[in-house]
A and B are shown apart, each in its own frame.
Chain A
């Protein structure tokens, strides 16, 4: 019995998780090392990777800042009513339930060139949709809950006694946060950040809709993979996918590390 279950689990993991990754690697080197290098050295690949990197950095910075602050408010703030906090708390999860395509579509509906807001911004020289700002907003939307969901439970668990003690002893809000709160939420924030980076790096649906997937302008790594597949350029698609998968595996290792640190502290 025991052998059967272990065997079955190993088989599922192998077939579902390991074989596909190996298959991508084989596909990337289908024409040898040269094909892989050619797929990656194309100017459109380099531009797409650069754009993805830029979006990841901006989105992670913004959502870390706002995510940590919002978690603090939702758990600690006395200026928000209990009911309102509960309502906001359930709203935080909404992006999880929104299909990425719909997430992108919402931004097009609100800020697209034909809308009132969009044409106003367009006249001011700012294009949101089919340009970088829209792609950043879409990724911000999709990754918003990740950090909040990691940090809030920890804040609830540690309670506010220590923070209150600190402020009774005369520490200001800033010192209390850095000396008392931060050390206990630090590893959860790191874990949330890694999740955010992974999601931002891999975001596809929302970005595809908002960006219009314009070559050299709004094409990201994932949308380029999609386009290469559509154009039957499988070796190039595999090469980029392999780079992205390597990034994911690195992030996975970071996740494990952050998780183990979190359990210690």
Chain B
């Protein structure tokens, strides 16, 4: 009897510890930032959130993240296709390289892009001669975002391609469909859920990215100042209110995306 009672105390203690940890570490800080943003009243909140600089930073981030996501949706689908469907020397190596951006510290990724695109580098000089600069401009930010979110689409499409039933494709060929129309009508629709969910994940990661971007982004509002760098600047200059406003904007947007992804995945599982 006493051992059973002890067991119950133990499990009760474990449960409360885990739940407390969860609430304190995750829920409490998030509620805290929303609370802080409303702490000086609703009007002040609206005022801060509608601040043009803040909006510009958020809109720019969304725009660049969209571009990066589109690039990754295309490149990722192509890479997943090649890695699954074609056999060629080095395929295994490429496949394990896919996760490199997840394993690499984002600050190191930023430094890499800085070196690669800098004025004294090959690409930097070449772009200079063509009359435009990459570093500290929008292309550099997009490249940093593409690098960091590279694995998402590939990793989402690969399992779908592996599971795909070959008979559908074979049937299409037997019925005389060309390679192109088989791809558009059979293969692509099968990959589409993976492309979409991978792209959504990539998009939300690109919105939030800081480390890789901060070293290559500029500071011109509306042109090269993205939200996370803006927030960092506001924190550094002790402007808590400004930082909170943009944080709340960006957070709300990211949460909406996250819940959309969860909802879509749930529907797909159940439906």
Query: Are both chains from one complex?
Result: yes
B210 neighbours in A (Cβ, 8 Å): 99-101, 204-205
In residues 216-265 of chain A, which contact B (Cβ within 8 Å)?
221-223, 225-226, 229, 234, 237-238, 241, 244-245, 248-249, 251-253, 255-256
Q: In the complex, which of the residues A17, A91, A95, A201 has the most CB atoms of chain B within 10 Å of its own CB atom? A: A17
Nearest A residue to B255, CB-CB? A97
Check B103–A98 contact: CB distance below 8 A.
no
User: What DSSP secondary structure best describes chain B's contact surface?
Assistant: helix
Q: How far is the CB of B30 from chain A (nearest CB, A)?
A: 6
Interface residues on B, range: 35 or more
B113 neighbours in A (Cβ, 8 Å): 20
Query: How many angstroms from the CA of A99 to the CA of B113 in the assembled complex?
Result: 20
A162 neighbours in B (Cβ, 8 Å): none
In residues 143-164 of chain A, which contact B (Cβ within 8 Å)?
144
Instruction: Tell which of B86, B97, B262 touches A6, judged by Cβ atoms closer than 8 Å.
Output: B86
Q: How many residues of A contact B (CB 8 A)?
A: 79
B residues whose Cβ falls under 8 Å from a Cβ of A: 7, 11, 14-15, 18-19, 21-22, 25-30, 32-33, 36, 75, 78-79, 81-83, 86, 88, 90, 94, 96-97, 99-109, 111-116, 121, 146-147, 150, 179, 204-205, 207-211, 214-215, 227-228, 231-232, 235, 240, 243-244, 247, 250-251, 254-255, 257-259, 262
Between A and B, 12 residue pairs with Cβ closer than 8 Å are: A20-B115, A23-B121, A69-B14, A88-B22, A97-B255, A98-B254, A99-B247, A106-B30, A205-B228, A225-B111, A244-B104, A249-B103
A residues whose Cβ falls under 8 Å from a Cβ of B: 1-2, 5-6, 8-10, 12-13, 16-21, 23-24, 27, 66, 69-70, 73, 77, 79, 88, 90-103, 105-110, 137, 140-141, 144, 172-173, 195, 198, 201-205, 208-209, 221-223, 225-226, 229, 234, 237-238, 241, 244-245, 248-249, 251-253, 255-256
